Structure formats: C-alpha cells, structure tokens
C-alpha cells in the first residue's frame, strides 16, 4: 500500500475549492477505498459537548444506526477517545459490546460482521473537533504504518474542521454586522412606528431564516393601531404556544429586574405544527430599556431535524438583536412622539397666529355687518308698511316686491357672514354618526324636489361614536348634501359612506359624500374652501368655508377627490371615540363647552 499516494490525495482534496462537507466525504471515501475500511464515519463535537455522527463514506451501513443517538463525552468508546484525545484500536474479540454504549441496541446483530475497528480523535494542539471511526470486515489487523496514516488523516480532517469553524464564524459575523446595519438604518429613519416595527420583524426573520418573527409591545409603552407586528405567518396551532412563551419570558425578565440582576437569554420551546412530524423551534427574548420592559421579540423556525448548533446560534442572534433594538427602539419611538408633538405644536402655533388675524378681521366684519344690517331692517320694514297702507299701481307694487326680496337676500347674506366670523363655543357630546346622517337624509328626501335623487347609504356597522358638537356637524352634513344636490341639478345619485380609519395612527371616522354632478373644474379646486368663492348664480360662497371651519375646529379635516366629467367626492374626517377614557380628563365625555382657545386639538388644513 502506497501511503504517500493516499496522503497526497487527502492533502490535495483538503486544499481544494470544494465545499467543506464535500471535502470531508471525499476523504472518507479515500479511507474506505485505499485503506480498505468498509466504514469511515466522523463524529463531530457539538457546542453542547455531545458527539453527533454527521459524515460517512459512500458505502456505509452503520451511519443510519449510529446517527440516531448523540454520545456524551466520556460515554462509550467514541466518548472515551474524545475525552482522552488518544486513539483506540480494537478487533472483534476485544471491542466493547455496542461500542460501549447502551443506547446502540441495534449494533448487536451488525457489529460481528466487522473484524477490526479504529477510533482516532480529530484534534489539533488546542481544540478537539470530533472522532474518526473506521471498521473493516476484510482485514485481520491494523498495521503500525496504517495507524500513523490514520493519525495524519485525522489531523488533516481536524484542520478542515478548524477552517470550517473559522469560515462559519466569519459568515456569522458578517451576517450579524449586516443585520445590525439594517436595523440601525431602520431605527434612525423617519418611518412611522408601525413601519419601523414591521421592518424589524422582517429583518429578524430574514437574518435567522425563520418562518415568522413577531414583535409584541407592552400596552403601557406606546399606543399604536395594534400591539403585534409580524413578518410571515403563525400557524393557528402555534399561536397559543407563542403567547405562552412570551408570557414566560416577561415573567423571567420581571424576576430579574426585581432581583436587580442583568438578564440575557432566549427562552425556547419545540412544537408540532402543519404536516405530521413538522417541527418548529420557537425562541423569544425580552426587549428592555432603562429598567422597563418594552415587549418581546419571538421567532419560529421550521426544522427538518433538531440541530443544536443552529439552535444555539439562533438564541445568540435573537438575544443580540433584542439587546441592540432595545435602546434604539425606545429612542426611535420617543423621537417619533417628539416629532409628532412638535408638528402639532407648530400647527397649533400657526393656527393661533391665523386665528388672531381672523379674529381682528372678524370683529371688523361683524361691526360692518351690524351697521349695514340695521338700515336694511329699517328699509325693509318701511317698504312693507308702505305696501300695506298706500294704494299703488301694479308697476309700483312690482318695485316694492323687488325691494323687499333684495333686502331679505341681503339680510341672509349678512347672517351667513356673521355665522362665519363669530366665535361659537363647541358643545361636545357623543354622536352616533350613522343615526345623524339617517335623520338628515330623511329630512331632505321628504322634499319633493329630491324625488329624482337616488341616495345610496353604505354605513359601517359598529361605528364608534364621534365626540363633537352635534348641531354644528349636522350643519356640515346638510351643506355637503345640498352642494351635491345643486351640483347634480336635482337629478342623479348621491352615495354616503361611513367607515373607521386611522390617520397618523389616530382613530378617525371618515364620512364620504359622492355625487354624479360632473365634478369640479380643476382650476377651482384650490379655492373651494375660500370664503366668498362660488360658481353658483345665487350664492355667496360661504357654505364650504363654514363647513371646513367647523370640521377643522373639531380636530378633523375635509378631503376632496375630484373626477371631472363624473362627480366629486368629499370626505370628512372626524376624530372618533373608541374608549370611554378618550373623553376630556380621562372621564366619560359629557356635554361640555369648549372654546377654540381652550381646546387642545391638532388642526389640519383642508387641502
């Protein structure tokens, strides 16, 4: 036997560009073919200090039997060789039964077919990587030269494992850095909190090749539309397991905080899900910052078979991600809340300045309107008295009627102007928007002029109540419906829709009024909410201005979607009340009066 030729082949394969697993199996095939061993297997040392039979030659018969059980160091022949880092060689006469391991029961009938056995540690000067096991059915003994060759081969295999560990460590480090880089980019972005949390879940699932990753926030930390953000899908029969594990992690974290001891861990459980025999490993870790728990991050990974190394790596990565995002997430969400507060403060400041300007203008306008209205009342009154006491011919009576009608019109205009500029307090109370709309529709449709108008109602069931001044909001709804009626010239279809929606992660009720009146000229869109802008033959252009003012003072806004040639859609957004605590001061809202200066609301432009 040419040992130099065998070693040359092994060294050539060891330094090739093949994948690590392919190199190891190729060397085992050389041991089997050139050194005449029927079995050439490798036990690798796992992170939990147990030995797993992972690699085999092409014609191995024992691999399936030996890979079912993982040996402890010091257990059986394989464990003894790993513990002492010294080779052992046996013949069939002196080999321990079942290789010295009680759990290899199936070897009783198979082992007698082999005559010689070799157990050689895979190690270098510092580390043990596993054990090489070889068995032959055709040889009577293993020569000293062959023992030397097996020792050299074992050191070469140990070098391959060392290279594999270094490569794996480098890949892990690159993955960690890439993951942290992505997380840092997300945490320092200007995204909203929901988008940040969804992206964190997505990055975590991608980094750990998980079927799902989910983040659950503590309700006391921040109020969002939902408290759970998930990438992937959680099987129905895993949901209870996930909730149980999250609760256990939070309990352990609370105990650690109580004892003032640091904690860094990932609780785990294994669950059956999906197809028969399909196994999931579920890991969860707490997200903590500044002695408070923000929530948990949990992932589930489907396993073909349990892998201790993968499980430990997943635990490490999940713990690292949880620690990294803890302070970053806390800061990111607080920054978002600060930005929202500053934006609301800026909006309120601009509105305050605008309101002060409008207040002065309004007072002047109100004074002028009163000064004009008083003479009009006198003119109208004396004209009506003259018409009753003086006998006039038909043409003169016609003049009197025109004077009376125009005075009445001027008084109506002045009344609308006064309604627009006056400071009316808001009397807040709970309002069932669907019922209010139904009342207004019944009132308007009872008029014969509405007989050619079809009203389609699409009210959302279980719509939360709005907190508003019912009479003022009623005026807004009437104005909107009358605008649609006039745009269609009394003939067409009006569609009314209500729904709950979220804007900037705050709950709103959206009331939509769509008509088939041909839409608004695009050139007019920027001016429709301006006072005194109108395209009607008889109108002063205050209907939409007053409606917009009322909605804005309620903390909402009006959105316009125009389709020229078809119709217009007006959407009124009003803050809704989902819980009794949403009322002023945390108490259930009663009918209360607030002026615009007293009520802290966020105002939004109509456009």
Q: Kindly compute the dihedral angle of the four CA atoms of residues 436, 441, 443, 449, in this order, to the nearest 10 degrees.
A: 160
Does residue 598 register a pLDDT over 70?
Answer: no
pLDDT at 340: 78
Q: What is the distance between the alpha carbons of residues 218 and 138, in angstroms, rounded to a whole number?
A: 67
pLDDT tier for residue 129 given thresholds of 50, 70 and 90: very high
Beta bridge partners of 583: none
Q: Which of 351-365, 473-487, 586-600 has the highest mean pLDDT?
A: 473-487
Q: How far apart are CA 212 and CA 302, in angstroms?
A: 9
Q: Tell me the per-residue pLDDT of 75-101, one tens digit each, with 9 for 90 and over.
A: 999 999 999 999 999 999 999 988 988
> What pairing do the DSSP bridges indicate for beta strands 228-232 and 267-272?
unpaired
Q: What is the mean pLDDT of the chain?
A: 79
Residue 16 phi, psi dihedral angles, 5° rounding:
-80, 180
Q: Which residues pair with 40 in a beta bridge?
A: 134
Cα–Cα nearest to 560, from 570, 574, 549 = 570
DSSP structural state of residue 450? G
Q: What is the mean pLDDT of residues 541-568?
A: 85
Task: Tell me how far apart the alpha carbons of residues 383 and 241 are, in angstroms, rounded to a whole number.
Answer: 86
Note the pLDDT of residue 361: 65
**Class of domain 3-170 as given by CATH:** alpha beta
The pLDDT tens digits for 452-464 are 999 999 999 889 9
pLDDT at 175 over 90: no
CATH-assigned architecture of domain 425-607? 2-Layer Sandwich (3.30)
Rounded distance between C-alpha atoms, residue 534 and residue 542, angstroms:
8
- Specify which of 180-184, 332-336, 429-433, 544-548 reaches the highest per-range mean pLDDT: 429-433
Q: Dihedral of the CA atoms 583, 589, 591, 596 (nearest 10)?
A: -10
- Judged against a pLDDT cut of 80, whether residue 374 lies above it is answered with no
Q: Do domains 3-170 and 171-343 have the same CATH topology?
A: yes
Structural domain spans, the chain: 3-170, 171-343, 425-607
- Please give the average per-residue pLDDT across 581-588, as a whole number: 42
What does the alpha-carbon distance between residue 80 and residue 55 come to, in Å, rounded to a whole number?
19
Q: Where are the alpha helices (DSSP H) in 390-504?
A: 394-421, 433-445, 470-487
Sequence-separated (6 or more) residues with CB below 8 Å from residue 394: none
For 423-442, how does the pLDDT look when each residue is reduced to its tens digit (9 = 90+)?
667 788 899 999 999 999 99
Residues near 200 by Cβ (< 8 Å), separated by ≥ 6? 183, 186, 187, 215, 229, 297, 325, 329
Burial 442-456 (b: 16+ CB within 10 A, else e): eebbeeeebeebeee
Provide the β-strand partners of residue 561.
569
Structural contact between residues 38 and 32, judged by C-beta atoms closer than 8 angstroms:
yes
pLDDT in the model for residue 605: 34
Question: What per-residue confidence (pLDDT) applies to 423?
Answer: 64
Question: Residue 568, Cα to own-chain centre: how many angstroms?
Answer: 34
Beta strands 426-431 and 592-594 are: antiparallel
Whether 512 has a pLDDT exceeding 90, the answer reads: yes
The structural architecture, per CATH, of the domain 171-343 is 2-Layer Sandwich (3.30)
Q: Read off the pLDDT of residues 532-546 as tens digits, 9 standing for 90 and up.
A: 667 676 666 667 888
Least confident window among 66-70, 285-289, 573-577: 285-289
- The SS3 of residue 146 is helix
Question: What is the mean pLDDT of the segment spanning 115-132?
Answer: 91
Q: What is the CA radius of gyration of the chain?
A: 41
């Amino acid at each position: 036997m040419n040992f130099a030729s065998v070693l040359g082949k092994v060294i050539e394969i060891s330094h090739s560009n093949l994948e690590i697993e392919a190199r190891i199996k190729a060397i085992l095939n050389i041991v089997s073919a050139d050194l005449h061993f029927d079995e050439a297997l490798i036990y690798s040392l796992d992170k939990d200090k147990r030995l797993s039979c992972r690699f085999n030659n092409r014609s191995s018969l024992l691999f399936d039997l030996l890979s079912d059980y993982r040996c402890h160091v010091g257990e059986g022949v394989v464990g003894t060789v790993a513990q002492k880092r010294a080779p052992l060689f046996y013949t069939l006469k002196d080999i321990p039964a079942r290789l010295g391991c009680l759990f290899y029961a199936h070897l009783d009938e198979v082992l007698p077919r082999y005559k010689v056995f070799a157990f050689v540690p895979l190690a270098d000067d510092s580390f043990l990587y596993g054990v090489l096991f070889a068995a032959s059915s055709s040889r009577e003994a293993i020569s000293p030269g062959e023992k030397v060759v097996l020792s050299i081969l074992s050191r070469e295999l140990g070098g391959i494992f060392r290279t594999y560990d270094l490569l794996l460590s480098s890949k892990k480090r690159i993955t960690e850095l890439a993951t942290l880089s992505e997380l840092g980019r997300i945490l320092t972005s200007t995204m909203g909190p929901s988008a940040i949390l969804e992206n964190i879940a997505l990055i975590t699932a991608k980094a750990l090749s998980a079927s799902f990753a989910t983040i659950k926030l503590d309700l006391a930390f921040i109020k969002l539309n939902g408290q759970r953000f998930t990438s992937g899908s959680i099987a129905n029969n895993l949901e209870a397991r996930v909730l149980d594990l999250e609760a256990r992690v939070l309990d352990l974290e609370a105990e650690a905080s109580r004892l003032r001891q640091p904690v860094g861990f990932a609780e785990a459980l294994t669950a059956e899900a999906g197809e028969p025999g399909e196994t999931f490993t579920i890991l969860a870790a707490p997200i903590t910052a500044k002695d408070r728990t923000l929530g948990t991050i949990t992932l589930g990974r489907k396993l073909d078979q349990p892998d201790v190394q993968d499980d430990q790596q997943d635990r490490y990565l999940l713990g690292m991600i949880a620690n990294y995002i803890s302070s970053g997430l806390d800061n990111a969400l607080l920054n978002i809340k600060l930005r929202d507060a500053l934006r609301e403060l800026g909006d309120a400041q601009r509105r305050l300045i605008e309101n002060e300007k409008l207040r002065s203008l309004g007072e002047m306008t109100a004074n002028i309107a009163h000064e004009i209205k008083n003479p009009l009342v006198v003119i109208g009154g004396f004209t009506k008295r003259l018409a009753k006491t003086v006998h006039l011919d038909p043409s003169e009576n016609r003049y009197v009627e025109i004077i009376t009608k125009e005075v009445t019109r001027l008084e109506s205009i002045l009344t609308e102007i006064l309604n627009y500029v006056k400071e009316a307090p808001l009397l807040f109370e709970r309002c069932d928007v669907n019922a209010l709309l139904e009342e207004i529709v019944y009132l308007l449709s009872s008029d014969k002029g509405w007989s050619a108008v079809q009203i389609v109602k699409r009210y959302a069931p279980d719509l939360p109540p709005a907190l508003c001044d019912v009479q003022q909001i009623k005026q807004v709804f009437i104005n909107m419906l009358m605008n649609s009626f006039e745009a269609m010239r009394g003939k067409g279809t009006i569609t009314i829709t209500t729904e709950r929606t979220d804007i900037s992660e705050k709950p709103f009720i959206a009331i939509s009024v769509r008509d088939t009146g041909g839409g608004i000229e695009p050139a007019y869109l920027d001016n429709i909410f301006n006072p005194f802008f109108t395209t009607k033959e008889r109108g002063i252009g205050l209907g939409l201005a007053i409606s917009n003012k009322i909605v804005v003072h309620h903390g909402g806004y009006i959105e316009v979607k125009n389709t020229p040639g078809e119709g217009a859609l007006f959407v009124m957004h009003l803050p809704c009340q989902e819980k009794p605590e949403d009322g002023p001061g945390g108490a259930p809202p009663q009918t209360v009066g607030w002026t615009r200066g007293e009520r802290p609301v966020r105002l939004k432009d109509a456009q």
